[in-house]
Amino acid sequence: MSEVATAVVQEAPNSASFAPNGHTPKAAIIRLDRLSKHYTEAGQTQLVLDELNQEFYEGEFVCLLGKSGSGKSTLLNLISGIDAPSNGDVVIYDGARDVRITALSEQQRTLFRRNHIGIVFQFFNLIPTLTVLENVTLPLELAGKEDRDHAVALLERVGLGNRLQTYPDKLSGGEQQRVAIARALAHDPLLVLADEPTGNLDEDTGDTVLTLLLELTRDAGKTLFMATHAPEVARQADRVLHLVHGKLNGAR
Amino acid sequence: MQNNHYSLKTYLRLAWRHARRRPLQSLFFVLGVAIGVAMMVAIDLANGSAERAFALGTETVTGKATHQILGGPSGLDEQIYGRLRRELGYRDSAPVVESYVTASELDAQPMRLLGIDPFAEAPFRSYLGIGPQATGTADYLPPLLVQPNTVLLSAVVAERYGLAVGDSIHIRVGTQNHTLTIVGLLQPSDDLSRRALDGLLITDIATAQELLDRVGRLDRIDLLIPTGAAGTATLDTIAAILPPSARIETTAARSGTVSEMTAAFSLNLTALSLLALVVGMFLIYNTVTFSVVQRRPVLGTLRALGMTRREIYGLILLEAGVLGALGTALGLGLGILLGRGAVQLVTQTVNDLFFVVAVREVAIPVFTLVKGSVIGVLAALFGAAIPALEAMSVAPAGALKRSDIEDRARTALPWVSAGALLLLAIGVALLLPEFNLYIAFAGLFAVILGGALLAPVLTLWFMVGVQRVEGKQLGVISRMAPRTIVRSLSRTGVAVAALMVAVSVIIGVGIMIGSFRSTVEAWLEDVLQADIFISVPALGSNQANAALEPAVVDRLATIPGIAQTATNRTIEGVAYLADLPTATGETATGAVVADGTPVSIIALSEDLAGAERNYTTAVGDWQETWAAVEEGAVLINEPMANRYKLRVGDELALQTDRGVQRFPIVGIAVNFDVRPNVFFHDPVYRHYWDDNALSAIAVFVAPGVDVEEKVAELRAAFAGDEELLIRSNRGTRQNALDVFDRTFAITVALQLLATLVAFIGILSTLMSLQLERSREIGVLRATGMTRQQLWRLSLLETGLIGSSAGLIAMPMGLALAIILIYIINLRSFGWTLQMQLEPQYFGQAFFVALGAALLAGLYPAWRMGQMEPAEAVRSE
């Protein structure tokens, strides 16, 4: 914990005046500070994210639009600590203090993610050897905790209360993504990151899944950061950002 | 035609690009084939070299001779040769006196001292380049004939050891040392003569007679007999002038019986050498399955682009063929290197157990290389055939999912298991009736393969059991591990099978060797009753020509502290197990013209083992049986009885110095000599053979006398020009066990190599599973699994694979032990072993399996930990 403390920015979190949907103004929960990422391939450097400065707030639904290959997934991976930036910082307020994700060791980033971040992937990415219920309790179990009731309640919310012992390969795409949503929320994270969560689903199923995801995150007061290239999703977002040529442009 | 050319190019390009992207998998494939081929080639070279060395030693020295006149233990009277030439006017004959000797200047390797008559040689051994007609012999013929203790040797050998004409060499013949002068160097005219000369020291016959203490005696007379009626008539004429102690054999018979003797030994080694290739085929299967699964989108796209099913099949087999060829090439090279080491081990065993042979070079026959190549490539193709069929079933646009293959594998599981049971039944059916050894080995392999095919279903049951036992007590990681194994059963099952085969062989062979060793130890305990044994150092196992003077016994009698002595005389004799072709041999005059079976004739002054001697059958108790032997009957050993189907009550026809005589068999004694043994009571032996020499003396010290001190005292007393081997009971027993351990050294080496292949198999499987699961691992990492947790998961999986293999290997290993002990060994060598089951064999083997799996899991686990989750979760 002391190592985590070194990564904590000691000054008070930035105050903000943003009030999503007319709620009371909330504090910035994620701060991107001159965040850059480039890849080098065959001696050529390709800049994917170019000195991003941005803040996201508690309870906010941020929609990140951009073409394929624009760097949306990269930004999500940097926020979750799955990937490391080339320059700059990602700072997340964990409820008590600001944590500089970029200053954490790999092990610390994993533990931070396990405790504070939920992820929904485009390809569902359920663990095939675990049942529906086990997939949902996975983040908790990895942390040595167990809250079966919460997991069951979440699965009932997503309409899969009767499929607890089913293995993922017996589920449809939409069902799998609903399990993934439950898994992302099971450990009560600060922040849910969703990377094209409807990208692999048909329109109707995609709508259902999106509605569920929004409902659950809003009800729980979680920040939802969603990367997509479907503009219609943006209609429901509190804020829409466009990632173009490595820069974030606010549309709303 | 051009189309084919283009498609082959396309195939090769696709195959090459794939191999380049997955170099480790290709490397494992190549290694699997290479080790398998290398083991086979090495053993083939070792067996072949020993056989060829023996063939050179006998056949080339025999030269063009068609028949030989042979005598008893004291050889032939040299006057027979004179009568043959003078009375019968028979010129196509050459006398020979020979023995193995060692020379300190020639690395103390066994050399054949060949005493010949240079004037009679030309028609027989022209390649020696000796004889009045040969060119360039004039210089050394006079000194060879006139000067005593002169010798000729190959110029090649002389150069190798830095010797020249005029130099002396010191040879040891039995207990005697002599100095010989080199008077000439023979220039080999071709490769055959070079090799034939390599192991020879050539002297005039008179010199050889003196050196070997056989003045007036010949070991044999070589003959050139034409085929057909004229030849038969000549043989009859010659036989008529021979004494009854002599016999005439064809030269072909001798090498025949010798290769028959070592055939079982060679076959056992060959079978074991094939093991690595069998294990390697599992590895190949896994590697190719992985490459098919991994490339399903590519294969689907190729199908969509118009590649036919047959072309896909061809593509996969071509890849396997190319990698198999690479592995085979590497294996051939490796096999030649290993072969040099294996030759030493095999030659040592052949010397210990069968006959003197010195391998001076490891010839590399084309046949061995061709056989290795064909089998290597075929094994690769065979291992790839099933996954190639899977590849064929990929639908255009890559509809085949990994789970499809698993589903299909699961559907096939009952059939595979039924096939396994069928193979086991076939194996048992081949093993139980007394077919020949090849069929028994086919049965053994059927049992091994059947066991391997049962491995997937047993692994499945084991994993289900593990999950039940665990219940909900343990964490998510413990629950995931067995499920991952079950989910990839088509691959994990095969990895378990490969490791199980290797480990069950370790158990089976371990129990066999352990039982064998303890049986031999018990037997030595029984038969080695005396305190001290005195013998003559013999080259190899052959004691027959190493003789002690009877005077040694008299000298022993004068040494205080010795309570009793007993003697043993062992000679190489001949038994006629088939009906004799002519009645001539049965008469008191004339010699037998027939090919006999070589047997060791052992004359014992008394039955020291007595009540401790184990008989499989006998006419009565040990006293009654020995009393019958004293009356003129014989005992034979169990290998002889088993090999020639002899029973108590049968009569054994033996060549004696009194002609062919028949002796009733009154007992079959348990013993572990691979050669047939016939035991006589000493006075009976002396009655039938004109021989007064001894081979060994057993000494009992008086009560209270320290054996080791007495050994030292005897060594001092007999020090001098007679080099006797004087060993205590313990030393003798240790010596016998050393021979035993040397014999099985190669077996252990072969097992280790097979385990190495299984290890590579596990490594390859784990790496392929890890690559397949990279997304899953990425998700686990993204969800918060730490590297340590990932390590735990990975090692738990490999631990379960290893444990499954270890557990299944236990009953399988026991079955193999039973087959090896009661069927293979009995039919190979005629030995009955007492099975000793010790838990350590199973325990050790289990830990070998677990250890191999965990060790193989380290690198994949490390790679899993290093995997970038960002990459892994990016996209399908």
Residues of A in contact with B789 (CB under 8 A): 142
- Interface contact A90, partner B, CB < 8 A: no
Q: Look at B776 and A183 and tell me if their CB atoms are within 8 Å.
A: no
User: Would you place residue A24 in the very low, low, confident or very high pLDDT band (cuts 50, 70, 90)?
Assistant: very low
User: Would you place residue B688 in the very low, low, confident or very high pLDDT band (cuts 50, 70, 90)?
Assistant: very high
Q: Look at A130 and B480 and tell me if their CB atoms are within 8 Å.
A: yes
- Interface contact A229, partner B, CB < 8 A: no
Reduced 3-state DSSP string for B657-678: ECEEEEEEEEEEECCCCCCCEE
Q: How far is CA B636 from CA A236, B5, B182, B643, in A?
A: 100, 68, 45, 11
User: Would you place residue A252 in the very low, low, confident or very high pLDDT band (cuts 50, 70, 90)?
Assistant: low
User: Would you place residue B359 in the very low, low, confident or very high pLDDT band (cuts 50, 70, 90)?
Assistant: low
| pLDDT digits 0-9 by tens, B560-585 | 888 888 988 988 888 888 765 544 44
Q: Look at B779 and A115 and tell me if their CB atoms are within 8 Å.
A: no
> Which residue type is seen at B321?
G
**Residues A228-239, mean pLDDT to the nearest whole number:** 83
Q: How far is B480 from chain A (nearest CA, A)?
A: 6
> Which residue type is seen at B608?
L
Report the alpha-carbon distance of residue B455 to residue B462 in Å, rounded: 10
* Burial status of residue A41 (CB atoms within 10 A of its CB: 0-12, 13-18, 19 or more): exposed
* Burial status of residue B557 (CB atoms within 10 A of its CB: 0-12, 13-18, 19 or more): exposed
Q: How far is B785 from chain A (nearest CA, A)?
A: 6
The structure tokens listed for B239 are 């036989």
For chain B positions 479-498, those within 8 Å of chain A (CB to CB) are: 479-480, 483-484, 487
Q: Look at A111 and B475 and tell me if their CB atoms are within 8 Å.
A: no
**Residues B96-115, mean pLDDT to the nearest whole number:** 83
- Interface contact A220, partner B, CB < 8 A: no
Q: Look at B476 and A138 and tell me if their CB atoms are within 8 Å.
A: yes
Q: How far is B16 from chain A (nearest CA, A)?
A: 22
Is the Cα torsion angle A182, A183, A187, A188 positive or negative in sign?
negative
Report the alpha-carbon distance of residue B708 to residue B562 in Å, rounded: 13
Per-domain residue ranges of chain B: 76-218, 401-521+737-876, 537-723
Strands A223-228 and A191-195: parallel
Per-domain residue ranges of chain A: 2-250
Q: How far is A246 from chain B (nearest CA, A)?
A: 18
Q: How far is B858 from chain A (nearest CA, A)?
A: 20
> Which residue among B776, B785, B869 places its CB closest to the CB of A128?
B776
- Interface contact A114, partner B, CB < 8 A: yes
Q: How far is A23 from chain B (nearest CA, A)?
A: 30
Q: Examine the pLDDT at B77 and tell me if it is beyond 80.
A: yes
Enumerate residues 6+ apart whose C-beta is below 8 A from A234. Answer: A63, A65, A228, A240, A251, A252
Q: Examine the pLDDT at B330 and tell me if it is beyond 90.
A: yes
Q: State the number of CA atoms in the 13 A half-sphere of B384 facing the CB.
A: 31
Residues of B in contact with A129 (CB under 8 A): 480, 483-484, 487
Report the alpha-carbon distance of residue B862 to residue B751 in Å, rounded: 29
3-state secondary structure at position A212:
helix
Predicted confidence at residue B356, as pLDDT, reads 67
| pLDDT digits 0-9 by tens, A211-233 | 888 888 888 888 999 998 777 78
**Pair B129, B189: CB distance under 8 Å:** yes
Q: Which of B413, B380, B410, B405 is nearest to B295 (CA)?
A: B405
Q: CA nearest A183 in B: which residue?
A: B783
Predicted confidence at residue B832, as pLDDT, reads 79
Strands A239-244 and A61-65: parallel
Q: How far is B494 from chain A (nearest CA, A)?
A: 20
Phi (first) and psi of residue A86, to 5 degrees: -80, -40
The pTM assigned to this predicted structure is 0.77
Q: Examine the pLDDT at B131 and tell me if it is beyond 60.
A: no
Q: How far is B392 from chain A (nearest CA, A)?
A: 24
Residue with tokens 């994917």: A48
What DSSP element (H or E) covers B169? strand B168-173
Which CATH number is correct for A2-250, 3.40.50.300, 2.170.150.70, 3.40.50.2300, 3.30.70.60? 3.40.50.300
Mutate to test the interface with B, among A77, A110, A122 (most CBs of B within 10 A): A110
Report the alpha-carbon distance of residue B704 to residue B475 in Å, rounded: 70
3-state secondary structure at position B583:
coil
Q: Which of B728, B45, B60, B68 is nearest to B364 (CA)?
A: B45
Q: Which of B290, B312, B228, B265 is nearest to B14 (CA)?
A: B312
Q: Look at B786 and A80 and tell me if their CB atoms are within 8 Å.
A: no
Report the alpha-carbon distance of residue A203 to residue A183 in Å, rounded: 22
Q: Examine the pLDDT at B55 and tell me if it is beyond 80.
A: no
Q: Examine the pLDDT at A190 and tell me if it is beyond 80.
A: yes
Residues of A in contact with B797 (CB under 8 A): none
Q: CA nearest B486 in A: which residue?
A: A129
Q: Examine the pLDDT at B81 and tell me if it is beyond 80.
A: yes
The structure tokens listed for B287 are 């590697």
The C-alpha R_g of chain B, in whole angstroms, comes to 33
Report the alpha-carbon distance of residue B858 to residue B855 in Å, rounded: 5
Residues of A in contact with B783 (CB under 8 A): 113-114, 119, 138-139, 142, 183
> Which residue type is seen at A194?
A
CB pairs under 8 A between A and B: 79
Q: Look at A128 and B487 and tell me if their CB atoms are within 8 Å.
A: yes
Report the alpha-carbon distance of residue B673 to residue B572 in Å, rounded: 14
Query: What torsion do the CA atoms of A85, A86, A88, A94 make, to the nearest 10 degrees?
Result: 20
Report the alpha-carbon distance of residue A237 to residue A63 in Å, rounded: 6
Q: Look at A125 and B776 and tell me if their CB atoms are within 8 Å.
A: yes
- Interface contact A142, partner B, CB < 8 A: yes
Strands B176-186 and B150-154: parallel
Q: Look at A129 and B484 and tell me if their CB atoms are within 8 Å.
A: yes
Residues of B in contact with A147 (CB under 8 A): none
Phi (first) and psi of residue B616, to 5 degrees: -75, -40
Enumerate residues 6+ apart whose C-beta is below 8 A from B773. Answer: B484
Burial code (b: 16+ CB inside 10 Å, e: under 16) for B4-30 equals: eeeeeeebeebbeebbeebeebbbbbb
- Interface contact A188, partner B, CB < 8 A: no
Predicted confidence at residue A193, as pLDDT, reads 92
Which of A225-234, B397-406, B858-867 shows the lowest mean pLDDT across its residues? B397-406
> Which residue among A74, A113, A134 places its CB closest to the CB of B784?
A113
3-state secondary structure at position B171:
strand
Predicted confidence at residue B395, as pLDDT, reads 64
Q: Look at B776 and A130 and tell me if their CB atoms are within 8 Å.
A: no
- Interface contact B786, partner A, CB < 8 A: yes
Which of B6-15, B420-429, B646-655, B759-768 shows the lowest mean pLDDT across its residues? B6-15
Q: Which of B395, B379, B375, B380 is nearest to B288 (CA)?
A: B380
